[in-house]
């Protein structure tokens, strides 16, 4: 990693802490490796990404069924899916300091990068998180925090068939948290132990898999455009058989070329009928699909688009981070698409010690907030400091109520990217910032 790349990551980490996007988890106790908390602006940005995804891939379609499955699932599910056998990373431990590392992330597999000690033999480490359910010793049952969302959709496949009687092709979608016991979490929120993903399983006839794979591949690229990630910085990595997960016949990783190298942010996999077949065997329940038109019964195959929301969150910030000069002074701003920005517009009184300006600003703020919930009122510091703060948050517009407002009901609307200001009638504000 070059110094420029390191500097960019350091700047993003600093901005996230300073402006309330991301905090270290349990920071007052020294933090907790592999876990992070999202602050007010980070939570808003994350929810905006999720809402946009849900609208695009679920609510705007007739062939998608949204669910929210349990985070804790019984051991039998993960035995059937192959995760207890195959969900492993290569681990080595230093014989001197006992720090653990993923062997495939090391340049030198003989010496510890922390203390120079000798590294032990490579072993396979299962990254699933086991939990004990039950209330008394001897009466507990082993379960697992889900390592992926997919199994929640496969075990609900029959429920969707029985309740909604969908026609193939159709999908089951959800957004939620998953857990992997990463050996060496690193790179801020990129490689963590608790993360959020958006995903759907799209059930198809085997003969149509290439057609649907290509359709969803293109949809995933258009999604990157919608959230402001430049496709020129994204490459598609068609994985080899050795690189693919145990359930996949074809997988493409979408990788952002960022400051820590190629960053996998989303992927599309052809899972064949692997999961449904294994759950039929594991549960004894018939999970086949009956085509009533052709009187045909078969086990559907599956195309799986997966979106790493935390990683997309990070790449959105990396893409949006901008340094320039405005009014002869250097500034930092986030050039976020307004459809995902945590704050759509901030309303200012020109002077906070003038009650008539504050009152009018509050009136404008209340009017806008009825229709645009992510409007912010800001009277902290002088006007220049407010502009700089909102720029760093990524707020597309700043609306200033000044003494002219009291005379003619016009306000100043400042554009984040250009710094240009124009007068707008209050009744036209909504249309000006939507």
Residues 59 and 196 in one domain: yes
Do residues 182 and 55 share a domain? Answer: yes
Percent of the chain at pLDDT > 90 equals: 85
Q: Are 284 and 354 within one domain?
A: no
The region, left, alpha or beta by phi > 0 then psi within -120 to 50, assigned to residue 356 is alpha
Give me the CATH number covering residue 229.
3.30.930.10
Residue 83 lies in a domain: no
212 versus 84: which is more confidently predicted? Answer: 212
According to the model, what pLDDT value does residue 174 have?
Answer: 98
Task: Please report whether residue 206 resides in a domain.
Answer: yes
pLDDT of residue 147 exceeding 90: yes
What per-residue confidence (pLDDT) applies to 4? 64
Residue 70 falls inside a structural domain: yes
Q: CA-CA distances (angstroms) from residue 6 to 22, 187, 255, 353?
A: 18, 10, 19, 43
Mean pLDDT of 201-220: 98
In a domain, 39, yes or no: yes
Q: How do residues 169-181 score in pLDDT, each as one tens digit?
A: 999 999 999 999 9
Q: Is residue 81 part of a domain?
A: no
Residues 235 and 96 in one domain: no
Say which CATH number the domain at 384 has. 3.40.50.800
Report yes or no on 187 lying in a domain: yes
Residue 136 has pLDDT above 70, yes or no: no
Of the pLDDT bands very low, low, confident and very high (cuts 50, 70, 90), residue 1 is low
- Return the pLDDT at 107: 83
Q: How confident is the model at residue 85 (pLDDT cuts 50, 70, 90)?
A: confident
pLDDT digits (tens, 9 = 90+) for 288-313: 999 888 889 999 999 999 999 999 99
Distance CA 416, CA 336 (A): 10
Q: Return the pLDDT at 66.
A: 98
The per-residue pLDDT for 295 is 85
Pair (103, 226) in one structural domain: no
**pLDDT confidence of residue 78:** 95
Does 136 share its domain with 102? no
Taking the C-alpha atoms of residue 379 and residue 362, their distance in angstroms, rounded to an integer, is 10
Q: State residue 138's pLDDT score.
A: 64
Range of the domain at 356: 343-433
Q: Is residue 169 within 8 Å of 202, Cβ to Cβ?
A: yes
Indicate the pLDDT class of residue 86, thresholds 50, 70 and 90: confident
pLDDT at 6: 77
> Looking at residues 383-396, what average pLDDT do you find?
96
Identify which of 98, 254, 75 has the alpha carbon closest to the alpha carbon of residue 183.
98
pLDDT, position 89 = 80
Given a contact cutoff of 8 angstroms between Cβ atoms, the answer to whether 268 and 220 are in contact is: yes
What pLDDT, on a 0 to 100 scale, did the predictor assign at position 113?
87
The reply to whether 307 and 237 lie within a common domain is yes
CA dist 394 and 204 (Å) reads: 41
Question: Would you state the pLDDT for residue 302?
Answer: 98
Q: Mean pLDDT across the chain, nearest whole number?
A: 94
pLDDT in tens, 342-360: 999 999 999 999 999 999 9
For residues 262 and 299, state if they share a domain.
yes
Q: State which of 264, 282, 317 marks the end of a domain.
A: 317
Average pLDDT over residues 60-79: 97
Structural contact between residues 89 and 102, judged by C-beta atoms closer than 8 angstroms: yes
23 and 116 both lie in a single domain: no
Domains of the chain: total: 3
3-state secondary structure the chain: CCHHHHHHHHHHHHHHHHCCCEEECCHHHCCCCCCEEECHHHHHHHHHHHHHHHHHHHHCCCCEEECCCCCEEEHHHHHHHCHHHHCEEEEEEECCCCCEEEHHHCCCCCECCCCCCEECCCEEEECCEEEEECCCCCCCEEEEECCCCHHHHHCCHHHHHHHHCCCCCEEEEEEEEEECCCCCCECCCCECCEEEEEEEEEEECHHHHHHHHHHHHHHHHHHHHHCCCCHHHEEEEECCCCCCCCCCCEEEEEEEEECCEEEEEEEEEEEECHHHHHHHHHHCCCCCEEECCCCEEECCEEEEEEEEHHHHHHHHHHHHEEEEEECCEEEEEECCCCCCCCCCEEEEECCCCCHHHHHHHHHHHHHHHCCCCCEEECCCCCHHHHHHHHHHHCCCEEEEECHHHHHHCEEEEEECCCCCEEEEEHHHHHHHHC
111 with 249, same domain: the answer is no
Q: What mean pLDDT comes out for the span 10-18? A: 97
Q: Are residues 120 and 163 in the same domain?
A: no
pLDDT at 3: 62
Q: What is the mean pLDDT of residues 212-236?
A: 97
Confidence (pLDDT) at 134: 83
Q: Is residue 309 part of a domain?
A: yes
Whether residue 325 is contained in a domain is answered as no
CA 185 to each of CA 13, 33, 89, 182, 399: distance values in angstroms, whole numbers, following the listed order = 15, 7, 13, 6, 42
Output the pLDDT for position 2. 59
Same domain, 173 and 65: yes
Confidence (pLDDT) at 294: 83
Give backbone dihedrals phi and psi of 45, rounded to 5 degrees, phi first. Answer: -65, -45
């Amino acid at each position: 990693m070059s110094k420029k790349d390191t500097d960019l990551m350091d700047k993003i980490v600093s901005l996230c802490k300073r402006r309330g996007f991301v905090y270290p988890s349990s920071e007052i106790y020294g933090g907790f490796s592999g876990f992070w908390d999202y602050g007010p602006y980070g939570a808003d940005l994350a929810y905006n990404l999720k809402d946009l995804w849900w609208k695009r891939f679920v609510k705007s379609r007739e062939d998608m069924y949204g669910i929210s499955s349990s985070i804790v699932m019984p051991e039998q599910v993960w035995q059937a899916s192959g995760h207890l056998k195959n969900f492993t990373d290569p681990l080595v431990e230093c014989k001197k300091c006992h720090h653990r590392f993923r062997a495939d992330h090391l340049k030198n597999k003989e010496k510890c990068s922390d203390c120079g000690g000798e590294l032990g033999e490579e072993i396979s480490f299962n990254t699933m998180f086991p939990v004990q359910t039950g209330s008394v010793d001897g009466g507990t049952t082993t379960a697992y925090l889900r390592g992926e969302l997919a199994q929640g959709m496969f075990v609900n496949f029959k429920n969707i068939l029985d309740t909604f009687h969908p026609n193939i092709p159709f999908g089951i979608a959800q957004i939620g948290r998953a857990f992997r016991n990463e050996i060496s979490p690193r790179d801020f929120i990129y490689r963590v132990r608790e993360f959020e993903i958006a995903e759907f399983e799209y059930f198809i006839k085997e003969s149509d898999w290439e057609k649907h794979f290509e359709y969803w591949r293109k949809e995933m690229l258009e999604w990157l455009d919608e959230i402001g990630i430049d496709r020129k910085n994204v490459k598609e990595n068609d994985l080899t058989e050795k690189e693919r997960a145990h359930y996949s016949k074809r997988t493409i990783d979408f990788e952002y070329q960022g400051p820590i190298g190629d960053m996998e942010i989303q992927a599309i996999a052809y899972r064949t009928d692997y999961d449904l077949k294994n759950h039929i065997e594991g549960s004894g329940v018939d999970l086949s699909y009956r085509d009533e038109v052709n009187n045909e019964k078969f086990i559907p195959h599956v195309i799986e688009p997966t979106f790493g929301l935390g990683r997309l969150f990070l790449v959105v910030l990396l893409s949006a981070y901008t340094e320039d000069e405005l009014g002869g002074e250097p500034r930092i701003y986030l050039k976020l698409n307004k459809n995902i920005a945590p704050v759509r517009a901030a309303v200012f009184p020109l002077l906070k010690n003038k009650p008539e300006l504050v009152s009018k600003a509050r009136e404008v703020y209340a009017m806008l907030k009825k229709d645009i919930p992510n409007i912010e009122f800001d009277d902290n510091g002088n006007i220049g400091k407010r502009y700089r703060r909102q720029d760093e948050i990524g707020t597309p517009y700043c609306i200033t109520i000044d003494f002219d407002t009291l005379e003619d009901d016009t306000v100043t609307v400042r554009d984040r990217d250009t710094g240009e200001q124009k007068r707008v009638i209050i009744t036209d504000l909504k249309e000006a910032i939507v």
